[in-house]
Chain A
Amino acid sequence: MINMKNFLSKWVELKTEFGLKAIIDSLMAGVVYGMLIFVPVYIIFAEIAMIFMYQLYTIIVLIVFSAMLNVYVINKLAAKALKLKKPDATSDIKMVMIYHACFWMSIVLIIGLLFIFVIIPILWV
């Protein structure tokens, strides 16, 4: 169960210790390196989906899982970047990034479900 109060206090702690600029910079690093890793994965899935169209829904599920893993990797790398900025940091970077990853994973899951149940059935006429 996500405790919002706990998350907010840890976020404030992190922001005070690093500053917003450093946090955004770390997240950017996470996004850049995370995407570098996952762009070929997405292309591979998209190209496989074109050939194995009869397995489209299975492949969409795999893409959604990959995107969730991508979000996790981005946050993991962002946490790593923050630790590298300040190795003796006392705030709970890991916990804040887990909460952050969970939020974005939920968004990815909702988008994936929208594709499976709404967008693909509409488009595939």
Chain B
Amino acid sequence: MNELTEKAWPIVRLLILPYLFLMFLLIYPIEYYLDAPGGLTEVESLIEIDYNVEKETYGTISTTYIVALNRPSFFQFMVGYFSPYTTIDALTGSYADYTNEEISQISYWDKYTSVDASIIVAFLAASNENSEIVIDYVEKIFVFGKATYLSNYDLISFGDEFISLNGDNGIVSSLDEVAANTALNDTYDFTFRNSKGENYIVSLTKDAETSKFGITFRTAFIVNRETTFPEYSVSNSNIGGPSGGLLQTLAIYNMLISEDITHGLKIAGTGTIQYDGSVGYIGGVKQKIATAYLNKVDVFFIPNLDDNYAYDNYQEALKACEELNIDPTGWLVPVATFQDALDYLEGLGD
């Protein structure tokens, strides 16, 4: 080794500084986020339902994912800057305070609850036509946000379930009663349940400046699998976020009914699903349009709730199509509800 080092040393010495500079560009993270096109994931690879197993489905229904890089390196920033498909902006809001790991936790929790929302909506829709199908679910409260001043910050994880609070008037398990039961003291004992199903108690103290605990909760309906029919399994996903809701719902519904709503088409799209079957807005529209275009989909569903709203996803998609020189005719389909998407697909069969 010494011989080679001796021989190469003049070159090595010359290149040390440029080499270190290159490594700095490649490794040092900057406070930006970068959205880039991703790909399609067939819902069948994520959710399997033990029902209609002999039914043949000729087309595919896929969710669309994008790549969301938080704190890219200088090098990624530069590469992304010159790509027409990417969007780069400064990391702002609460996300600026979160680590990349925490942002991932939120994203995976969103995915988890979106799958349950899809199951609920699809099962309810299918149960209208087939009484054999039964869906049962419960409302749960989850940790969705943590302020920097939250006491015992590291003990609580995103997605942990709120069980109860030892409040001024005794044990409280409803979110509506938390404020009224935490008026007299500064510190209260909260009980949470972590992802392993273990309960733990943590004392939270109000911040002196804001008089708040610094924790945000969100409610979600979670399927009770024991009393739901048919049985289903959900694979572990490496893709987070709630934006696959609408397409998951369509695919699950297709698994439950006897007809094939795909008509042999490559169907994709985006949009969250609400429990009433309405579709919600998503981010990264430009990248999702690019992903759909690059993957040559036949139908792409996109939320369209208000044409006059500048950030309406369908309006954004039309702008993205213009920017990327893509013709939206025939494949870009605006929808406001799960039923709109179903009606469109049923119309294709006429």
Q: What chain A residues lie within 8 Å of B295 (beta carbons)?
A: 54
Checking A30, A47, A81 against B79 with a beta-carbon cut-off of 8 angstroms, the contacting residue is A47
Whether, in the assembled complex, B214 has its beta carbon less than 8 Å from a beta carbon of chain A, the answer is no
Whether B86 is near chain A, meaning CB under 8 Å from some CB there, is yes
Chain A 35-47 near chain B by CB (<8 Å), digits 1 or 0: 0100010011001
User: How far, in Å, is A43 (CB) from chain B's closest CB?
Assistant: 5
Cβ of A124: which chain B residues have Cβ within 8 Å of it?
Answer: 39, 41, 238-239
Nearest residue, chain B, Cβ from A40: B22
User: B8 touches which one: A33, A40, A47 (CB < 8 A)?
Assistant: A33
CA distance A81 to B2 in the complex (A): 9
Residue interface bits B296-314, CB-to-A below 8 A is 1, else 0 = 0000000000000000000
User: Which one of B3, B75, B80 lies within 8 Å of A85 (CB-CB)?
Assistant: B3
Q: Is A47 touching B86 in the complex (CB atoms < 8 A)?
A: no
A13 to chain B, nearest CB (A): 21
Q: Which residues of A contact B73 (CB under 8 A)?
A: 47
- The 7 lowest CB-CB distance pairs between A and B, nearest first, are A84-B3, A29-B1, A81-B4, A29-B4, A51-B36, A43-B26, A53-B38
State the Cβ distance, B291 to closest chain A Cβ, in Å: 6
- Number of B residues near A (Cβ < 8 Å) is 39
Q: Give min CB distance, B2 to chain A, whole Å.
A: 8
Judge whether A10 is part of the interface by a CB distance below 8 angstroms: no
Q: Does A110 sit at the interface, judged by CB under 8 A?
A: no
Taking A33-B4, A40-B26 as contacts, is the C-beta distance between A125 and B41 under 8 angstroms? yes
Smallest Cβ-Cβ distance to A31: which chain B residue: B1
Q: How many Cβ-Cβ contacts under 8 Å join chain A to chain B? A: 82
Contacts A40-B22, A54-B37 given: A125-B46 contact, CB under 8 Å?
Answer: yes
Asked if B30 CB lies within 8 Å of chain A CBs, one says: no
Known: A26-B4, A51-B69, A81-B4. 16 other contacts (CB 8 A): A29-B1, A33-B8, A40-B23, A43-B23, A51-B36, A51-B79, A51-B80, A51-B86, A52-B83, A54-B37, A54-B294, A54-B295, A56-B39, A80-B7, A124-B39, A124-B41
Chain A, residue nearest B45 (CB): A125
A107 within 8 A of B: no
* B114 smallest CB distance to A (angstroms): 15
Q: A53-B37, A125-B239 are in contact. Are A84 and B27 (CB under 8 A)?
A: no
* A43 contacts B27, C-beta separation under 8 Å: yes
Tell which of B39, B45, B236, B239 touches A54, judged by Cβ atoms closer than 8 Å.
B39
B34 at interface, CB cutoff 8 A: yes
CA distance A70 to B101 in the complex (A): 32
Whether the Cβ atoms of B236 and A125 lie closer than 8 Å is yes
Whose C-beta in chain B lies nearest to the C-beta of A80? B4
A97 is an interface residue with CB less than 8 A from chain B: no
For the complex, what is the distance from the CA of A44 to the CA of B165, rounded to whole Å?
A: 49
- Contacting A at CB under 8 A, from B1-30, are 1, 3-8, 19, 22-23, 26-27
- Which one, B1, B291, B294, contacts A81 given CB within 8 A? B1
Contact B39 A50 (CB under 8 A): no
Q: How far, in Å, is B155 (CB) from chain A's closest CB?
A: 31
State whether A54 touches B291 (Cβ < 8 A). Answer: yes
Closest residue to B290 on the A side, CB-wise? A54
| Interface members, chain B 205-241 (any A CB < 8 Å) | 235-239
Question: Which residue of chain A is the closest to B40 with respect to CB atoms?
Answer: A54
Inter-chain contacts of B45 with A (CB < 8 A)? 125
- By a CB distance below 8 angstroms, the chain B residues around A36 are 19
